[in-house]
Structure 1
Amino acid sequence: MTAGPHVVSDVMTHAVVAVGRDAPFKDIVKLMEQWKVSALPVLEGEGRVVGVVSEADLLPKEEFRDADPDPYSRALRRSDLAKAGAVTAGELMTAPAVTVHADSTLAQAARIMALRKVKRLPVVNDEGLLEGVVSRADLLKVFLREDDDIADEIRRDILDVLFPAPVEPIHVMVAEGVVTLTGKVGDTTMIPMTVRLVRAVEGVVDVDCHLCGDEAG
């Protein structure tokens, strides 16, 4: 994994299993079990993503197998009851699909997942054609960056820019993703910004800042 801002294409899975609108219920279940995934993109035409069918879309069939909901429950769970009677991906899927582009940042993808409460996002191009899938586990790959790689990025892209002439050399130590900064700087008002920028570096778990001003000066 290269240094610098990471985007979805850096971590996404390119080989993706998907289904068409007419895929039957049992085939969907088999594919999820075979590929160990919790959701499948639903495609039409040349590979345009039109929806996603997930475990949550399949569960109503089991939940309402022997149930006879009262009128209030029927009104409240109309969508789930419809899915309980569905037999194809087109009937089961959630549409439109929540997707992301390959050049989106990992932070953007993470926000979409959190806000829309999904575990996987189809990655599409500008025409809506499937290019891959990114999962929560994929987004966590940035924390596998080597400590030395993280330290090099902090020195090059942050410290050398903000403090081109420090009072004394600024030392960066990274251990298990935790960054420790020590040294003296001429402008202490820059320290809070430094901490924010370092914390935003992908792969950083925490920041322990011991930067200070030159008291003798």
Structure 2
Amino acid sequence: MRHRSVADLMTPTAVTVRRATPFKEIARLLTEFDITAVPVVDDTGHPLGVVSEADLIRRPSAGGVATAEQLMTSPAITARPEWSVVRAARLMRRLQVKRLPVIDAGGRVIGVLSRSDLIQLFLRRDHAIQEEIVEDVLTRALGLAPSAVTVDVVDGLVTLSGTVPRPELLPIVVRLCQSVDGAVEVDNRLTCAALNRT
């Protein structure tokens, strides 16, 4: 199973601004590059925050004197390129942000992952998600009998019910299911056969 990473879906960053970049310049960049937000970086390329169209609308500036530092939402919530897209999507949903600057090992911005980048991934059919979990995760990876675990998928929500033979398998099953492309959340209702016998 090879699952897509943030690096596979992110838009490489060609556009960033500095603290002192004025309102009008930010507005011009968003229009020119047809983007909805731009990372604000320091002199070494490390992210300080993000200025979005919504930030500009909330803080209209007569004469364009406001700067990126005054307009930005900070601190910047970031992702790493090697993360699974599921992990990034979960972070975006939990913190209610629409985009994540992606940083390299040195902490410098190398791209942006937006909700629109994720749309195609999460439009994956429920049946395809269920099939991958049953065949690849439960049967091939973990060697479980397909009849032992019931997998239901509705709008990307994966519900697992049934029994696994050993308690240490429970977190492994959940983690592997969470990593399947298109799985938005996992509702774990599994029990352990060994515990049931005691």
TM range (shorter): 0.5 to 0.7
2:163 is aligned with 1:189: yes
Q: Aligned with 1:189: secondary structure?
A: strand
Match of 1:142 among 117, 121, 137: 121
Kindly provide the amino acid, as one letter, of the partner of residue 24 in structure 2: K
* Aligned twin of 2:76: 97
Point out the more displaced range, 92-101 or 127-136: 92-101
Match of 1:159 among 128, 139, 164: 139
Distance in 1 separating the partners of 2:54 and 2:66: 15
Closer, same or farther in 2 for the Cα pair 1:6/1:33, shift >3 Å?
A: same
Distance in 2 separating the partners of 1:49 and 1:117: 19
**8 Å CA contact 1:24, 1:87 repeated in 2:** yes
**Displacement of 1:86:** 5.3
Closer, same or farther in 2 for the Cα pair 1:32/1:199, shift >3 Å?
A: same
2:111 is aligned with 1:132: yes
**8 Å CA contact 1:21, 1:90 repeated in 2:** yes
Distance in 2 separating the partners of 1:116 and 1:164: 35
Kindly provide the amino acid, as one letter, of the partner of residue 160 in structure 1: R
Kindly provide the amino acid, as one letter, of the partner of residue 57 in structure 2: L
Kindly provide the amino acid, as one letter, of the partner of residue 9 in structure 1: A
Which one has the largest radius of gyration? 1
**8 Å CA contact 1:162, 1:190 repeated in 2:** no
Distance in 2 separating the partners of 1:20 and 1:12: 21
Point out the more displaced range, 33-42 or 140-149: 140-149
* Aligned twin of 2:151: none
After superposition, the CA RMSD in angstroms is: 4.2
Closer, same or farther in 2 for the Cα pair 1:5/1:150, shift >3 Å?
A: farther
Distance in 2 separating the partners of 1:166 and 1:119: 37
**Matched positions, count:** 177
- TM-score normalized by the length of structure 1: 0.60
Closer, same or farther in 2 for the Cα pair 1:152/1:47, shift >3 Å?
A: same
Q: Percent identity?
A: 38
Q: Aligned with 1:121: secondary structure?
A: strand
2:36 is aligned with 1:56: no
- TM-score normalized by the length of structure 2: 0.65
Q: Deviations over 1:104-147 (max 9, x none)?
A: 22232123212322111100123320111001122233246698
* Aligned twin of 2:34: 36
Distance in 2 separating the partners of 1:23 and 1:155: 52
Q: What are the residue-to-residue correspondences of 1:67-86 with 2, within 5 Å?
A: none
* Aligned twin of 2:191: none
**8 Å CA contact 2:11, 2:113 repeated in 1:** yes
Q: Deviations over 1:46-89 (max 9, x none)?
A: 32212211223222334x97xxxxxxxxxxxxxxxxxx995221
Distance in 1 separating the partners of 2:132 and 2:84: 21
* Aligned twin of 2:25: 27
Point out the more displaced range, 154-163 or 138-147: 138-147
